[in-house]
Structure 1
């Protein structure tokens, strides 16, 4: 069992307080802290100490994948830990984005490498995601129904959007949503600033009304303070607006367009950093590739956790992917065998004081406090969790036999 030194990503949208408070550091932090990475992705592998020597989880797994990952995991994923556990701390909105599936990522990354290596793909892996709220977490997740999107855009009373509204109303299936997104993002440069200005002004007025859509328009107004003039403000009205309460979760399949607006949450994803952006960003928006990857039929499901046996009250956030699974454990002073019991695991403790020990012996017990995390290799089975507090335990997901080809 290895205590991890997670990596903090200082993206501009991050909080100055949330991660520092979680880890018991001085608040506020000197700069924005957006993501806490507890995994083995090459662009941010967590540190650890093995046999008195500082190393990274990436190197540990690469040196002995069968010992660290287990035979079945290594057979499926090679020398790569298949999941990445994070804490997100969004003080301002993230970009509207989408992630590829496995076949899209493999083919696009290979073509990119053959063409010189420059492009939007960071690796050849898919990036399905699970988000579990630690605080109230506001999201834009998946497209709205075409008729609902048409009603919201028409409600703005902006003449320049009439062709998009008519397109949505004339459509016969979800593909019309991709066409509406294209019509927004490919707006002629001279038309963009006046369009965004008119949409923000109308949204500001409607957000102060007593209408049923006031909250949807209010998101546009709030995001406009961070991304003035961005066409993503218009595109955001095509997306479903939700607020997750602590413990609630969303599963984001590949192809699902989304943006995380504000909040703190645990995110578990396939071990990839592939992102294609549609707006709310200063980075490149590759409309052609974005639309190729986006699946307008994707509806983002709320994941209702299932109570399962564990060392205390334990819930499984079940997702139909091979790369990851997530359990939440609420220890109440008792203890018992940790789940998942086998395979590689990363365990994160957001609160409390928890002790992990191996029933088989041979390794020292490990104590986790607020903000601590650790790696349990496949060779460490029969781990017992004791104490009081919360644990999130990430492990490998369903086998391909259960859910077909890898996601």
Structure 2
């Protein structure tokens, strides 16, 4: 029997004191929700908000249950490293005021706290974060694309035209695997050499050296987006 791997989800909504209220909340508008406290959207398998599956053909009711019974969906490395659990939680935040102060433990301390007080620490994982704070100005996107030779090979000359950014992305995703692998290896090698020279793990663009396993177009995509399209906050 063929396992359905693409299906709609109903994701959890969270409320915090710093969130936007009512129709001012992007989350509320995204969900077309009348809930005045729809401020934070969680997409994942967190114990406080396991996404519900909206497909009657699937016996599992939540994403967490589905992953538990379809472990191969995680890939062997993720499955073994994170004990068969999804290791990330994607969030959409509608922020009104400064966020509350948070202290995220490392992996070792997170496991200890989870055992001691699971009601307060429901997750045994640490919480490194990456925030996408918005899109870069078009002129800056073009500049970044021109400065990364590996992207130039894949997107051709379209980076010179602001209106062709969509075409740039399409070229990347439709490139032959052999070409992407070649450029991906060159990108990793070049940034790693820069890191050795500068004594840290960041390139000239402020993006950590990529740690990539599979050699496929989708491995290049996050680097393309982080280098060029988004303003990124690491925490």
Q: Taking structure 2 as the reference length, what is the TM-score of the superposition?
A: 0.52
Give the Cα–Cα distance (whole angstroms) in 2 for the partners of residues 37 and 12 of structure 1: 16
Partner of 2:180: none
Post-superposition offset of 1:73 = 1.2
Partner of 1:126: 126
Partner of 1:141: none
Post-superposition offset of 1:58 = 0.8
Query: Which of 56, 59, 71 matches 2:62?
Result: 56
Post-superposition offset of 1:333 = 8.8
Q: Secondary structure at the match of 2:10?
A: coil
Contact 2:27/2:39 (CA < 8 Å) preserved in 1? no
Give the Cα–Cα distance (whole angstroms) in 2 for the partners of residues 309 and 73 of structure 1: 28
Give the Cα–Cα distance (whole angstroms) in 2 for the partners of residues 9 and 56 of structure 1: 17
Post-superposition offset of 1:37 = 0.8
Partner of 2:50: 45
Query: Which of 160, 166, 172 matches 1:331?
Result: 166
Partner of 2:12: 7
Q: Which runs of 5+ in 2 are unaligned?
A: 1-5, 138-143, 157-164, 178-215, 219-224, 227-235
Contact 2:10/2:54 (CA < 8 Å) preserved in 1? no
Q: Which runs of 5+ in 1 are unaligned?
A: 135-245, 249-303, 314-329, 342-380, 384-390, 393-407
Post-superposition offset of 1:72 = 1.5
Contact 2:110/2:123 (CA < 8 Å) preserved in 1? yes
Which has more strand, going by share of residues? Answer: 1
Gap change, CA 1:76 and 1:334, over 3 Å in 2:
closer
Gap change, CA 1:92 and 1:312, over 3 Å in 2:
farther
Q: Secondary structure at the match of 1:133?
A: strand
Give the Cα–Cα distance (whole angstroms) in 2 for the partners of residues 24 and 81 of structure 1: 24
Number of residues of Structure 1 aligned to a counterpart in Structure 2:
155
Q: Secondary structure at the match of 2:77?
A: helix
Which structure has more relative contact order (CA 8 Å, sep 6+)? It is: 1
Gap change, CA 1:333 and 1:128, over 3 Å in 2:
closer
Post-superposition offset of 1:97 = 1.5
Give the Cα–Cα distance (whole angstroms) in 2 for the partners of residues 35 and 20 of structure 1: 6
Gap change, CA 1:309 and 1:70, over 3 Å in 2:
farther
Contact 2:18/2:98 (CA < 8 Å) preserved in 1? yes
Partner of 1:31: 36
Post-superposition offset of 1:56 = 1.6
Gap change, CA 1:103 and 1:88, over 3 Å in 2:
same
Partner of 1:236: none
Gap change, CA 1:103 and 1:333, over 3 Å in 2:
closer
For residues 65-76 of structure 1, the aligned pairs below 5 Å read 65=71, 67-76=72-81
Gap change, CA 1:50 and 1:309, over 3 Å in 2:
farther
Query: Which of 66, 79, 86 matches 1:81?
Result: 86
Give the Cα–Cα distance (whole angstroms) in 1 for the partners of residues 129 and 53 of structure 2: 25
Partner of 2:233: none
Give the Cα–Cα distance (whole angstroms) in 2 for the partners of residues 3 and 32 of structure 1: 23
Greater C-alpha Rg: 1
Contact 1:35/1:89 (CA < 8 Å) preserved in 2? yes
Give the Cα–Cα distance (whole angstroms) in 2 for the partners of residues 5 and 47 of structure 1: 5
Which has more helix, going by share of residues? Answer: 2
Post-superposition offset of 1:5 = 2.3
Give the Cα–Cα distance (whole angstroms) in 2 for the partners of residues 5 and 331 of structure 1: 29
Post-superposition offset of 1:20 = 4.5
Q: Taking structure 1 as the reference length, what is the TM-score of the superposition?
A: 0.32
